[in-house]
A and B are shown apart, each in its own frame.
Chain A
C-alpha cells in the first residue's frame, strides 16, 4: 500500500488504518460519530494527500479545459476555483473535480484518488489540436483539509496568508509554518474550511502543529469514515457511487455546473438532447422512514418492482437517521414520493426528501 507523508502521525494518534484505492489511510481515530460532530461544531483535520493533481499549461490551457469540462472556466480569474467534471462524449463522468485558475495559461486540476491515473490518461489523451502541456505532479503533493467553524481561527496564526479576506472557492499561495503552500477555501464537508496543498517533502509539522494548536479548541483528526458521512449530509458527489460513466451530468442533478453559453465541450450534444427531451431518471435524496440503515447497492423498489439501487447511503450522525441518494424514474422523484429499500430480507419504507440534507447557517 502507498503511504502519505503523514502516515506515521496517523498511527501515533491511534488511527485505525485501512486500504483505500491502494493507499494506507485512517478510516477513524476516536470514532466516526464524534469525528463527524467535531467538524460540524468545532474543527477537524483530514489527510487527503491521496487525491490527484493535474497541471494543464500553455497558450491554449483555458481552451483545453473548456473543451474537457461543462462549467465555464473562462469565468475564473487567477485566485479562483470552480467545481466541475471531466465529461465523456455521452455527457457521463470520467470524474468530478476542482479547477484552480493559477494564471491565464495555468490550470491546476484536483481529482479523486480513485481516478488519478485514469484522469491523467484522459486529459493527456485529448490534447490533439490544442497547444498545451499536461503534467501529473500528484506524487509530489501532500494535501490536508482543515474544516469546521473554527478552521480559520486555528489556521491563521500559522500562516502569512490573510484568511479573513479569502472568500469561498478562492485560493492564495503563501507560507504555513514556513512551508510554501497553496491554500484554498474549499472542502468536502459542507463546513467552512481550507485545503492546504504543499510540495514540501517534509510537511509533517503542518499536521502536528494544527493538531497541537487545535486540540484545546476541540479539533479532532478525522478519518475517511466521517469524511463520507459529512459529504453525504451536504449532498456532495462520490464518484463510483453517485456519479460514474453510466450517469449523465443532468441525471446527476448537476445542471448548475453546465454553462452552455460558454461554447462547445465534450458531451454537449447529449446535454442539449436531454434538455430538449427531458430525463428518464434523476438522482434524488431520501430518508429511511423506519429504523435501519440504507447502504450502497441495496435494491430499491417501487410498489414491489425493482427500479434501482441505493447509490450512497449511511446513518447521518447529525440528523440521527438514515439518508442517502438514489436514481429514481423521473415520475417518482417528487419530494414526498415513497418507495422501498431492501435491507436483507425486509422492505423498508423510504421517501424522497429535499437536499442538501444539511446546510450550514452562514455561508461565506
Chain B
C-alpha cells in the first residue's frame, strides 16, 4: 500500500526523493481522514522553508490541515492541477495528488524520515 521508495512522517506526509529535490504529498491515510478535499493553499515558488514549517494548507468541507515541510528546503514547483481539481489528493494521493517539489537543503535531514515499514507500523499503532 505505501510505496517502498517513499519516506514518511508521523504527520502523514510522504516524500519521494529524486536527486537533490523531493516531491511531497499527504498519505492515503491522511486523505481518508480529511474527507473530500475542496481547496489547497499552495506556497509561492521560491519560498524558503525550515523543517516543520507549514508549506501548504489542505481543506476539506469540515477541516483545515497544515502540511509541514519534512525537511528544510526551497519550493521549486507546486502542483497547479490542484487549483482546479483539489480532490486529486483523494483520488491519487501518492501520485497525481503531489503538492510541492522542494529542493533539499541538507540531505542529512532525509535520513531521519520514516520508511514505508516504519510508517505502516505507526499507523497500526494509531488504531489501538
Asked whether, in the complex, the Cβ of B62 is within 8 Å of the Cβ of A344, the reply is no
User: A293 and B57 in contact (CB under 8 A), knowing A27-B62, A32-B62, A225-B62?
Assistant: no
A-B contacts, CB under 8 A, total: 34
Asked whether, in the complex, the Cβ of B35 is within 8 Å of the Cβ of A32, the reply is yes
Asked whether, in the complex, the Cβ of B36 is within 8 Å of the Cβ of A31, the reply is yes
CB of B83 closer than 8 Å to a CB of A: yes
**How distant is A347 from chain B, measured CB to nearest CB, in Å?**
14
Determine the distance from Cα of A152 to Cα of B64 in the docked complex, in whole angstroms.
Answer: 37
Asked whether, in the complex, the Cβ of B57 is within 8 Å of the Cβ of A344, the reply is yes
CB of A142 closer than 8 Å to a CB of B: no
**CB within 8 Å of B: which of A14-34?**
27-28, 31-33
Determine the distance from Cα of A300 to Cα of B94 in the docked complex, in whole angstroms.
Answer: 37
Determine the distance from Cα of A33 to Cα of B34 in the docked complex, in whole angstroms.
Answer: 12
Determine the distance from Cα of A28 to Cα of B62 in the docked complex, in whole angstroms.
Answer: 10
Asked whether, in the complex, the Cβ of B59 is within 8 Å of the Cβ of A33, the reply is no
Determine the distance from Cα of A170 to Cα of B66 in the docked complex, in whole angstroms.
Answer: 47
Asked whether, in the complex, the Cβ of B61 is within 8 Å of the Cβ of A32, the reply is yes
Asked whether, in the complex, the Cβ of B62 is within 8 Å of the Cβ of A293, the reply is no
Asked whether, in the complex, the Cβ of B62 is within 8 Å of the Cβ of A291, the reply is no
**CB within 8 Å of B: which of A327-346?**
344
Q: Flag B49-67 by CB within 8 Å of A: 1 or 0 each.
A: 0000000010111101000
Per a CB cutoff under 8 Å, which of B35, B57, B64 touches A31? B35
Determine the distance from Cα of A35 to Cα of B26 in the docked complex, in whole angstroms.
Answer: 24
CB of A295 closer than 8 Å to a CB of B: yes
Per a CB cutoff under 8 Å, which of A229, A291, A292 touches B61? A229
**How distant is B120 from chain A, measured CB to nearest CB, in Å?**
22
Closest to B87 in A: A33
**How distant is B19 from chain A, measured CB to nearest CB, in Å?**
32
Interface size class of B (residues with CB under 8 A): 10 to 19
Determine the distance from Cα of A229 to Cα of B61 in the docked complex, in whole angstroms.
Answer: 9
Closest to A229 in B: B61
Q: Flag A296-317 by CB within 8 Å of B: 1 or 0 each.
A: 0000000000000000001101
Neighbouring B residues of A33 by C-beta, 8 Å: 36, 61
**How distant is A308 from chain B, measured CB to nearest CB, in Å?**
20
CB of B38 closer than 8 Å to a CB of A: yes
Closest to A315 in B: B38
**CB within 8 Å of B: which of A56-113?**
none
**How distant is B103 from chain A, measured CB to nearest CB, in Å?**
24
Neighbouring A residues of B57 by C-beta, 8 Å: 344
Asked whether, in the complex, the Cβ of A225 is within 8 Å of the Cβ of B61, the reply is yes
CB of B39 closer than 8 Å to a CB of A: yes
Closest to B57 in A: A344
Per a CB cutoff under 8 Å, which of B41, B61, B83 touches A315? B61
Determine the distance from Cα of A31 to Cα of B41 in the docked complex, in whole angstroms.
Answer: 22
Determine the distance from Cα of A344 to Cα of B58 in the docked complex, in whole angstroms.
Answer: 13
Asked whether, in the complex, the Cβ of A317 is within 8 Å of the Cβ of B61, the reply is yes
Closest to B54 in A: A344
Determine the distance from Cα of A256 to Cα of B28 in the docked complex, in whole angstroms.
Answer: 48
Neighbouring A residues of B61 by C-beta, 8 Å: 32-33, 225, 229, 314-315, 317
* 4 more A-B residue pairs beyond the given contacts A229-B61, A293-B64, A315-B61, with a C-beta to C-beta distance below 8 A: A27-B62, A32-B61, A293-B39, A293-B59
Instruction: Give the interface of B toward A (CB within 8 A).
Output: 35-36, 38-39, 41, 57, 59-62, 64, 83
* Top-5 shortest CB links A-B: A33-B36, A32-B61, A315-B38, A225-B62, A293-B59
14 of the cross-chain contacts (CB-CB < 8 Å) are A28-B62, A31-B36, A32-B61, A32-B62, A33-B36, A225-B35, A229-B61, A291-B39, A293-B39, A293-B59, A295-B64, A315-B39, A317-B61, A344-B57
